[in-house]
Amino acid sequence: MTDDSVLQRHTLRLAVLAIDIAKLQARYTAWQEEAAGDIASARDRGITQQRVILPGGADAGLFSFYSGGKSVEVDEDELMLHAALNEPGEIEDYVLETALRDKRVLDLLAEHLPEFVGRRIRAAYRGQLQKELEEHDGYVHDQYGEKVKVATVTPLPASGKFRFNPDKQAAIRIAAAIEAGTITKDGQVVEPDGGAAGE
């Protein structure tokens, strides 16, 4: 078992860092949006990269600017005519997707080419069954209300992943605790002797 104080230490630290990340992400996103127009304009003028030079001349990395891609609208009739005139052997017949949902087509295939016909549960009902068996430990109910086991549900070990939902006042409260010196900027509790707990 994990000691509650260890969990408290972890969750406090993660909460502080999550708030910090959210603030940084908001600043980064705002700056990214502000820069996007100038970057797009530069890329359209043929500038594909920009080195980051720190004051004093040190190189801090390279930004690569993506192009806008291409929009291609094909005239399928013209393309088909081109293929028919130039490579007629490259044109093939195919079955329309809607035909595979037509009972007449399925009956015809079942009669003449049964090896190409399978059976499955319709998607909407399959989804209902999946939900039911997951909620009832692998069981579904038959038409008489009896439970029928159709799946084995095996609980998996917890992954350690988590989601943090900060209180609306979390950022203000955490900033106040940092300002008061009761926690560090990375979320460690400051002990009365001035050291961070858990170090």
pLDDT of residue 194: 59
Percent of the chain at pLDDT above 90? 53
pTM above 0.85, yes or no: no
Instruction: Give yes or no for a contact between 186 and 197, defined as CB atoms under 8 angstroms apart.
Output: no
- Model confidence at 103, in pLDDT bands (50, 70, 90)? very high
∠ CA 179-182-188 to the nearest 5 degrees? Answer: 110
Q: How many helices (H) and strands (E) does the chain have?
A: 5, 4
The answer to whether residue 119 sits within a structural domain is no
- Is 193's pLDDT higher than 80? no
Residue type, 146: E
Give the number of residues written for the chain.
199
Cite the DSSP H helix spans in the chain.
4-44, 76-86, 103-112, 123-135, 170-180
What distance in Å separates the CA atoms of residue 86 and residue 4, rounded to the nearest whole number? Answer: 75
The count of structural domains within the chain is 1
The answer to whether residue 32 sits within a structural domain is yes
The answer to whether residue 13 sits within a structural domain is yes
* Dihedral sign, Cα of residue 124, residue 126, residue 127, residue 132: positive
The answer to whether residue 102 sits within a structural domain is no
The answer to whether residue 164 sits within a structural domain is no
- Full residue range of the structural domain in which residue 180 is found: 1-53+175-199
The answer to whether residue 179 sits within a structural domain is yes
- Model confidence at 39, in pLDDT bands (50, 70, 90)? very high
Instruction: Taking residues 134-144, report their average pLDDT.
Output: 93
Instruction: Taking residues 80-88, report their average pLDDT.
Output: 94
- Is 38's pLDDT higher than 70? yes
The answer to whether residue 134 sits within a structural domain is no
pLDDT of residue 195: 60
- Of 152, 97, 145, 101, nearest to 123 by C-alpha is 101
Tokens of 103: 């009972």
Tokens of 2: 């994990």
